[in-house]
Structure 1
Amino acid sequence: MSLKDLPINKSWTLFLDRDGVINHRLPGDYVKTPEQFEMLPGVARAIKILGERFGHIIVVSNQQGVGKGLMTAEDLEKVDQKMHSLIAEAGGRLDAVFYAPMLAKERHIMRKPRIGMALAARKKFPEIQFKMSMIAGDSLSDMQFGKCLGMKTVLISESNLIAKKIPKLVDYYYKSLEDFSLDIS
């Protein structure tokens, strides 16, 4: 099914991963300070466009740098403030941000691919229906997270390796969030 065939309107929710989708991922490291947060090209404009289509835009991001003690929750909040500021300057919005600071080895329900952050989002916004939601992410855990909940999945990556290896997990593939936003608008 083509993306344009989906009846996306303000009753739909878009879940976004952060690192690698909204901002540059730091290879082998974590974005620990606002100075390290570098938005990917076209993302602020893309989120503005997507906000015109979706009722809610919610970030769900694993951030185990906190659990590893490499940064504090306050550091993460400062990075979050910079992200919100850059998006707002472009006329966009994020309705909520949920982070899972636990270590991957803890297998906590809040860490993707588990569904805790989605359940927390629905608690905050009871009108969310996962069958009328999409997840745009760059990792296998993002795609698994979406499929566990019956969402449409959008792989955002320079490489469509995940789509080639496990095609049933990826409904749509784009090289950037900007490309996705332009196709859906």
Structure 2
Amino acid sequence: MKVAFLDRDGTINRDYPDDVWIQIQYPEILPGAIRGMKYLKEKGYEIIIVTNQYIIGEGIISIEQYHEFNSKLLALLIENDISILDVFYCPHARTEQCDCCKPRSGLIKQAIRKYPEINLEESFMCGDSLSDMKCAESVGLNFWGIGIGKQRISDLSDLCNLV
């Protein structure tokens, strides 16, 4: 199975400063995200979201707020005929030094354990931060960076010409 591992905030959904997240009620899909994800699905990719959510562990938002927001995001994507295979998230504070906080590879490894049919050679990761890029590199995934890295793109729709 080939998978597009996508970061959430700053890649699919607008990102905000940490202290603003407490006020955010609804997802704001970034330009190009819907088009790019539809293209990936048409090309046979499953989409798995991998996201650091240290704002849970640091007490900025509750786990319930995270799940409520994420449910709204997934519903918006379904309304646009985009199914997400799964979402893996790290809820730990940055000081916890867990295995799942990107740039560590724990979220990808969780996905591989749950879906052993994932073929990393046919898969890739896309995100907007150096931690996303380093996570991808640590497991041998090709990486497309929104505004960063050697394979730089401006938004997910740029993948329509690349994969």
State TM-score, norm by structure 2: 0.91
Counterpart amino acid of residue 173 in structure 1: R
Which aligned runs of 4 or more in structure 1 are off by greater than 6 angstroms? none
For residue 112 of structure 1, what is the aligned residue in structure 2? 102
- Whether the aligned pair in 1 keeps the contact of 2:128 and 2:145 (CA below 8 Å) is yes
Aligned sequence identity (%): 34
The residue aligned with 2:155 is: 176
Where relative contact order (Cα < 8 A, 6+ residues apart) is larger, the structure is 2
Superposition RMSD on alpha carbons, in Å? Answer: 1.7
Aligned to 1:83: 73
1:40 aligns with 2:37: no
Query: How far apart are residue 146 of structure 1 and its match?
Result: 0.4
- Please give the alpha-carbon distance, in whole angstroms, between the structure 2 residues aligned to 1:30 and 1:114: 26
Residues 132 and 96 (structure 1 numbering): CA distance in 2 closer, same or farther, change over 3 Å? same
* Bigger mean CA deviation after superposition, 28-37 or 98-107: 28-37
**1-side partners of 2:20 and 2:43: how far apart?**
31
Go from structure 1 to structure 2 and tell me whether the alpha carbon gap of 1:31 and 1:177 turns closer, same or farther (over 3 Å shift).
Answer: farther
Q: Could you say which residue in structure 2 is the equivalent of 1:25? A: 15
Runs of at least 5 residues in structure 1 that lack an aligned partner in the other structure: 1-10, 164-169
Q: TM-score, normalised by structure 1?
A: 0.81
Give the Å deviation of 1:129: 2.4
Letter of the 1:77 counterpart:
H
